[in-house]
Every structure is written in structure tokens, then in C-alpha cells.
Amino acid sequence: KEKTLAMIKPDGIAGNYTDIIKKTILDSGFSITQEMLFELNEETVRSFYAEHATKSFFPDLVQYMSSGPVLIMVLEKVNAIADWRALIGPTDANNAKITQPNSIRAMCGLDLQRNCIHGSDSPQSADKEIMFFFNKASSDFFVTTEVYGPDISFLVIALG
Ligand code: GTP
Ligand code: MG
């Protein structure tokens, strides 16, 4: 079996898509072997998306990905990496709605940037990204509390 890294991005969490995305993951034959709710600071996002550092959209991407909590999961299945990329659909959620209406980005993404979900794009990226989030020392983490209105609060692990 193969492992890949999935992440529900801030717009996906804020839009309450967590449960439907997790159901889709399980219904598609993946198991979720690890998961953690993180709040990423800008430095962590810059490091995670370092391959895009020279792109014009990078500052917007850093701002977006640090704008709220993200749910990071390790997914396991035969051919997990390619199958997960296929299931999330194309980068641009507007394009996904036309060309791959059953994809996760078609279901919950908003546009080219706010596309609600991440997937590792190769075996090398999957290894690197799983290490990035799950091979940390406990001293790299601190716990914050996110509050979403008067009655809803939950713990978030922040990195940085
Ligand atoms: P990830 O799974 O998040 O890595 O997306 P991807 O592999 O489909 O796309 P890519 O790695 O090329 O881009 C990373 C992320 O940057 C995308 O998921 C978008 O959130 C954002 N992004 C990519 N291209 C653009 C763009 O042209 N404009 C803006 N504003 N954001 C972009
Ligand atoms: Mg990518």
C-alpha cells in the first residue's frame, strides 16, 4: 500500500466540508491513518509550498493558507497518490466544476486559489510532506484554541 498527504484547506474547514470530504475519502477505499488539525503560520506555509516561492501568486497563497485551521491527514491505499490526485480534481475549482464535476474540488472549491483540498503530487512529495507534518518533535508544537462563535471552540495544534 501507498501513503499520501491530504489537507483540507482553510476554506474547506470554514465551509463545513470536513465531514463530507472524510466520507468521500473512506467511500473511495482510502483509510485515514493519521490526522491532525493545525494552524499554519506564514513561515510554515512558505516552507511547505517552497516550490512556488517565485510565483506571483505566492504571497496570496501564504496569506490564504495561514488564514484559518487546516486538517492534515495521511491516506493509505494501493495507488493512493495518483488516485487521491484524481479524486480531488484539477487545481482550478471552476475548471473542476466543468471537467470533473464529481471531484472534491468541484464539490467544495471556490476558485483557482481557494480549492479546499491538497494532495501530494508524486511519491517524493508524499514522503517529504508526511515527514514535514508528522515527524516533528513535540517542542515544535503549541496548542491554541480557535473559537467559532459563542458555543463552538476546539483545540488546534499550531506549528512554529
Ligand atoms: P496543491 O494540492 O495545493 O499543491 O494544489 P495543486 O498541486 O493542484 O496546484 P499547485 O501545486 O500548482 O499550486 C498550489 C496551490 O497554489 C493551489 O492549490 C492553489 O491554492 C494555489 N494556486 C495555484 N496556482 C494559482 C494561481 O495561478 N493563482 C492563485 N491565486 N493561486 C494559485
Ligand atoms: Mg501542488
pTM: 0.91
For residue 32, pLDDT beyond 70: yes
All structural domains of the chain, each given as residue ranges with its CATH number in brackets, are 2-159 (3.30.70.141)
pLDDT at 79: 98
Q: Tell the residue number behind the cell numbers 487545481, with chain if given.
A: 91
Distance 142 CA to ligand 2 centre (A): 27
Ligand lying nearest the CA atom of residue 90: 1
pLDDT at 70: 93
Range 11-20 average pLDDT: 94
Average pLDDT over the chain reads 90
Range 23-43 average pLDDT: 93
How buried is 160 (Cβ within 10 angstroms: 0-12 exposed, 13-18 middle, 19+ buried)?
A: middle
Find out whether 115 is annotated in a ligand binding site.
yes
Distance 152 CA to ligand 1 centre (A): 30
Q: Pairing between strand 153-159 and 31-40?
A: parallel
pLDDT at 134: 87
* Per-residue model confidence as pLDDT tens digits over 70-115: 999 999 999 999 999 999 999 999 999 999 999 999 999 999 999 9
CB of 61 closer than 8 Å to CB of 27: no
For residue 158, pLDDT beyond 70: no
Range 63-75 average pLDDT: 94
* Per-residue model confidence as pLDDT tens digits over 115-133: 999 999 999 999 999 999 9
DSSP letters for 31-98: EEEEEEEEEE-HHHHHHHTGGGTTSTTHHHHHHHHTSS-EEEEEEEETTHHHHHHHHH--SSHHHHHH
